[in-house]
Chain A
């Protein structure tokens, strides 16, 4: 028995060491290298995807890494794996590894200019990857946009539930407020339909007014948040959870009974303003601002309020202001996310913003990790992609996803990447020095 455990332990260590050694050259690949690799992979798919997929016996380019296909026709599993390796993994790894020193030099060179230049270049590459990948079909485009919107919602809820440590349930309500406000503005101003009559402004102005209407949607959501915050932040405890849950139901039934905006039938005909560039830009803006906030001392005050309100007060932190600012801020982004959602789907009804939405958002926050920007991004994208990938399973999907969630909660109670600081400047740096430090460490041990 003892020998066996000894053997498995050393075996496990050996495997881990082998993996670490295999990964070592990739550890020195900077973000720039990975992005170039990914861009090449998706370009390859764009031009050679169809013949390769057909050659592997599949009807065409698999929409979502072959998940959907394999779940319908399990025999295609080897082809799907081969496709993913051949199209995505191999080219990305090859470019990342071979171009590693070049990418490092380029990344170092970029840092001699202001950081913004490097950031914009990285984001442009990332956008290029997403654009090319989602350009293959409309379904992918939808998944990408919805995932990005989910990132915004998750991040904003994480500010309240993770960073501030209160439990808020009103995010679907805030999304609804944003979605309806912005939709009414754009539909009234730019769409001729039988709900609101003729368009008021020429459609040319649409894309210019749209950002303003989004901000207005966010502001209305913040106003709703104020109604929740005033009674619930007088004391600590479960009050916020109860009041915010009530708020969500009130908002839902408000829109169900508001015939002006379609009542339970919902509101459609939103103009097609939320294309990938728009959604991408707003998501980046959201991540940047939220990350700025939570890393500032004003944002750290949220953690202090969560971990010990009395000590925070005694250290001159205005805890009431801190809580209000964070809650309204979170609601603002939820509102904007809701508004973008409405313009992606181009139809909303009150039912969209119910308990199911709440469950999804909470799942994304707790899956990804509390108190972590990167966790929220991972949680939102992971949950969305998984949820889409398992769609062919229909009802079984709602058994598998909760089981996965339970497993995550059992093994990592605070989520996959919880309590981690997200430093974009660190990501843009060349990584050859880092790799040297690591190999030094290995040699020393």
Chain B
């Protein structure tokens, strides 16, 4: 049974058809990839699934419940965690605060608890602290916990974003180019961490990538997107040798 199911998603930006009848189904524990040249509509698909844009047509189901049309924070609270292509961290906050904040929807102490510091709040905040620290340990940035996030090296900032998305306790994790802008060393570390997180938490992961190496390493099934349409779907090996994919990436071979 599919954990995340997308059916016939279509989206227009004005007259431009950015995504055309896109479908997807991710099973529990699966790692799926989405590749495609620049401007193919990969990030748009992420934004449609997570509720940032309302799709012109189509439905999204998380754990068999329809989530199309819900607002961004509601979808996030239902268990869809994401990271961003360009880091979106909060520049005045510490690493620990980042991860704790993603537990916003898990807290039930309400306004009264926030104002008066009730025992319930103390208990829930302590629980949040503990879980956040575990996630920082898991992603290998625990030693930065009390630091302001902008003081961290780039690779560590990426990992903080991952830890933050994990604090949502997501059923499906969406990673938007998790290795963008990384040097080879950071890249290898990131791959290890994603694999480690996947093994530890047994999440379903859906990732957008540019680098073939990452997709080949991580994904079981890969989709290739071009001009908003899926042109090929299959195992990484098959995708790599698929002529349509090669054409989309490298252009058509002209034989004279």
A18 to chain B, nearest CB (A): 31
Residue B52, interface by CB 8 Å: yes
CB pair A311–B115 under 8 Å, yes or no, is no
- The yes or no answer to A209 lying at the interface (CB within 8 A) is no
Query: Nearest residue in A to B103 (C-beta to C-beta)?
Result: A297
Q: Which residue of A lies closest to B110 (CB)?
A: A298
At the interface, is chain B mostly helix, strand, loop or mixed?
A: helix
Which residues in A have their C-beta under 8 angstroms from that of B72?
310, 313-314
Is the CB of B92 closer than 8 A to any CB of chain A? yes
- Across the interface, do B76 and A314 meet the contact criterion of CB distance under 8 Å? yes
B 236-252 binary contact with A (CB < 8 Å = 1; else 0) = 00000000000000000
A348 at the interface (CB under 8 A from B): no
Indicate if A292 sits at the interface (CB-CB under 8 A).
yes
Q: Is the CB of B76 within 8 A of A316?
A: yes
Q: Which of A351-393 contact B (CB under 8 A)?
A: 371
User: What residues of A have a CB within 8 angstroms of the CB of B107 in the complex?
Assistant: 297-298
Residue pair A304, B111 in contact (C-beta under 8 Å): no
Q: B1 at interface (Cβ–Cβ under 8 A)?
A: no
B233 within 8 A of A: no
> Is A315 located at the chain interface by the 8 A CB criterion?
yes
Shortest beta-carbon distance from B121 to chain A in Å: 6
Residues of B within 8 A of A301 (CB): 101, 104
Name the residue on B nearest A307 (C-beta).
B90
A316: B residues at CB distance < 8 A? 73, 76-77, 102, 104-105, 168
Question: Is B186's beta carbon under 8 Å from chain A?
Answer: no
Residues of A close to B73: CB separation below 8 A: 313-319
Provide the residues of chain B in CB contact with A307, threshold 8 Å.
89-93
Does B104 contact A303, Cβ atoms closer than 8 Å?
A: no
Bound CA span A444–B101, Å: 37
Tell me, yes or no, whether B164 is within 8 Å of chain A by CB.
yes
Complex Cα distance A296/B128, Å?
11
Q: Which of A297, A313, A325 has the most CB of B within 10 A?
A: A297
Report B149-184 CB contacts with A as 1/0, cut-off 8 Å: 000000000000000110110000000000000000
Say yes or no: is A289 at the interface (Cβ < 8 Å to chain B): yes
Which residues of chain A have C-beta atoms less than 8 A from B89's C-beta? 307-308, 311
Asked if residues B97 and A300 are in contact (CB atoms below 8 Å), the reply is yes
Main secondary structure, interface of A, reads helix
Q: Is the CB of A313 within 8 A of B71?
A: yes
Q: How many residues of A contact B (CB 8 A)?
A: 28
How close is A283's CB to chain B, nearest CB, in angstroms?
16
CB–CB B90/A311 < 8 A: yes
Q: Does B117 contact A (CB under 8 A)?
A: yes
Interface presence of A293 (CB below 8 A) = yes
Query: B50 an interface residue at 8 Å Cβ cutoff?
Result: yes
- Residue numbers in B under 8 Å from A313 (CB-CB): 52, 71-73, 76
Q: Decide yes or no whether A49 CB sits under 8 A from chain B.
A: no
User: Could you tell me if A419 and B82 are in contact, using CB atoms closer than 8 angstroms?
Assistant: no
**Chain A 98-130 interface 0/1 with B at a Cβ cutoff of 8 Å (1 = within):** 000000000000000000000000000000000
State whether B101 touches A315 (Cβ < 8 A). yes
Question: How many interface residues does B have (CB within 8 Å)?
Answer: 37
Pairwise interchain contact A300-B93, C-beta atoms closer than 8 A:
yes
In contact, B125 and A310 (Cβ under 8 angstroms): no
Kindly identify, within residues 217 to 234 of chain B, every residue whose CB is under 8 Å from any CB belonging to chain A: none
Closest to B168 in A: A316
A299 at the A/B interface (Cβ < 8 Å)? yes
A140-183 interface code vs B (CB 8 A; 1 in, 0 out): 00000000000000000000000000000000000000000000
- Give the nearest-CB partner of A311 in chain B: B88
The complex places the Cα of A318 from the Cα of B72 at a distance, in Å, of 9
Task: State A297–B111 Cα separation when bound (angstroms).
Answer: 11
Asked whether B100 lies within 8 Å of A300 as measured between CB atoms, the reply is yes
Residues of A within 8 A of B77 (CB): 316
Q: Complex Cα distance A298/B115, Å?
A: 10
| Interface contact B50-A314, CB-CB below 8 Å | yes
The smallest C-beta distance from A178 to any residue of chain B, in angstroms, reads 18
Q: How far is the CA of A307 from the CA of B91 in the complex (A)?
A: 6
Which residues B83-99 have CB closer than 8 A to chain A? 84, 88-93, 97
Q: How far is the CA of A317 from the CA of B164 in the complex (A)?
A: 12
Instruction: Please name all residues of chain A whose beta carbon is closer than 8 Å to the beta carbon of B103 when the two chains form the complex.
Output: 297
Interface 1/0 per residue, A15-48 and B, CB below 8 Å: 0000000000000000000000000000000000
Would you call A297 and B84 a contact (CB within 8 A)?
no
Contact: B84 with A311, CB < 8 Å?
yes
A184 CB to nearest B CB, Å: 27
Q: Given A293, A298, A303, which contacts B93 in the complex, CB threshold below 8 Å?
A: A303
The answer to whether B111 and A298 touch across the interface, beta carbons within 8 angstroms, is yes
Minimum Cβ distance to chain A for residue B60 (Å): 15
Give the contacts of B52-74 with A (CB-CB under 8 A): 52, 71-73
- The reply to whether the CB of B116 lies closer than 8 angstroms to some CB of chain A is yes
Tell me whether A308 and B88 are in contact (CB under 8 A): yes
- A residues in contact with B104, CB < 8 Å: 297-298, 301, 315-318
Quote the shortest CB–CB distance from A330 to chain B (angstroms). Answer: 13
A-B contact pairs, 8 of them (CB 8 A): A298-B104, A308-B90, A313-B76, A314-B82, A315-B101, A316-B77, A316-B105, A317-B73
Given contacts A310-B72, A315-B73, A316-B168, 7 further A-B contacts (CB under 8 A): A297-B128, A307-B92, A311-B90, A314-B82, A315-B102, A315-B165, A316-B104
Contacts from A to B (Cβ < 8 Å): 289, 292-293, 296-301, 303-304, 306-308, 310-319, 325, 329, 371, 419
